[in-house]
Structure 1
């Protein structure tokens, strides 16, 4: 399935500002970039860095009113879903790069949930079944509500409020998975058929020697997700990070099935 993406960010930067952008689709094995373009108006020099998993971040310096437009067509290959069963890897078996995703982080204080997970999920088989039970618990007990949380809300606050948006669902799922000894990391993505269209926060869990992509909100199908990047929590996957305050003028995200007729996409 081919997915067409357009992300347009229109911001005002009062002073010369350094920015980090996570807009570009990851160059990972389960998704192929057919074509893409990235345009700054006014033009700006930028540098793109790529990690070992194909996630890319862009660095630039901008000032004044600036519009950044990213367009792409992505071929989503058949993405494997979380298996029906499977065991949790022992820590001695884990690759060392998964260790940070076992530990508490800024928005995911997983150590605060250990007593709860031991009592709530102790009767389910260790591994995939326990992760699925956690995801079911979140879906059954947390309401998807805009305006309840903000950029400082942690998983602990979401657990108390029992409401939030995709970012909050993801932080709580990560915290509960880490509390049962399963590495979990936050993932930013473009999502087909998400309403309203926006950047979408989901997560990956490490089981059976592999990362598995899951959406705790159940608002988007895994097959229609275009992965951007991953990290410990929202602080690592923000679409834009700046060293000075800025003002959003307009922001628009569009994700749809690609049609060759009338496509907006052009090669870089």
Structure 2
């Protein structure tokens, strides 16, 4: 499957602002960037650094006045591997070094507070089947309501409220998986089927030697999602991090399937 991506970020800045962007689709691991273009305007310094786990790149900018960034890309996605529901869990003492940090609590995912609930509600299941039960439980009990959470909302808040947006669904999914001793991380993606279309947050779980995408909102499918970056939770995968106050002017994200003639 090929998807076309178009993103516009327009922000008013102060006189001097440090910014970190994560908006470009990563190349590799089930996806290939066929073409891309990024226009950040003529002013300011730009530096590229590797994204977390070597997935994608982070862009450092030092700007003043205005940021108007336009990114476009064509990405081919090929994720025809096994369904995560059939995959076995990896015993904690056999989890590889790169996945170990995702067994532990993080800022927005206090997984230790979910141990009793996970054991009581999902204890009879194992591996991918347990992840599937968790995903289905979240989708069936939560309501997708924009504007009901903010930058301080964590998995425990969302679990109590039973509502939120994609990042809140992903935080709960990650916290439940980690409480079951299954490594889980957050991924920022461009995905078909997201409504309203925007940067989309999903969970990824480590099972049977590989990472698998899991979207508790039910909107995105792995074969229609282009990964941008990954991290412990939303703090690591934000599309824009500003180290001083900035003002939103306009933001647009478009993701469409390209059907070959």
User: Where do residues 218-233 of structure 1 align in structure 2 (5 Å cutoff)?
Assistant: 218-233=218-233
Corresponding residue number in structure 2 for 1:266 = none
CA distance in 2, matches of 1:260, 1:207: 34
Gaps of 5+ in 2: none
C-alpha offsets along residues 2-39 of structure 1, whole Å, 9 cap, x if unaligned? 11111100000012111110011112231111111111
**SS of residue paired to 2:167:** helix
User: Where do residues 55-204 of structure 1 align in structure 2 (5 Å cutoff)?
Assistant: 55-80=56-81, 82-124=83-125, 126-204=126-204
C-alpha offsets along residues 109-152 of structure 1, whole Å, 9 cap, x if unaligned? 0001011111111122x211111111111111111111221111
CA contact (8 A) 2:37 2:73 kept: yes
Residue 86 of structure 1: CA displacement? 2.6
CA contact (8 A) 1:143 1:162 kept: yes
**SS of residue paired to 1:41:** coil
Residue 88 of structure 1: CA displacement? 1.1
State which drifts further: 58-67 or 175-184.
58-67
CA distance in 2, matches of 1:162, 1:258: 35
**SS of residue paired to 1:213:** strand
Q: TM-score, normalised by structure 1?
A: 0.93
Equivalent pairs counted in the alignment come to 260
CA contact (8 A) 1:146 1:164 kept: yes
C-alpha offsets along residues 179-234 of structure 1, whole Å, 9 cap, x if unaligned? 00000000000111322110000010001111001111011222110100000000
Name the Cα RMSD after superposition: 1.6
Residue 54 of structure 1: CA displacement? 3.2
CA distance in 1, matches of 2:87, 2:234: 28
CA distance in 1, matches of 2:215, 2:87: 19
State which drifts further: 245-254 or 133-142.
133-142
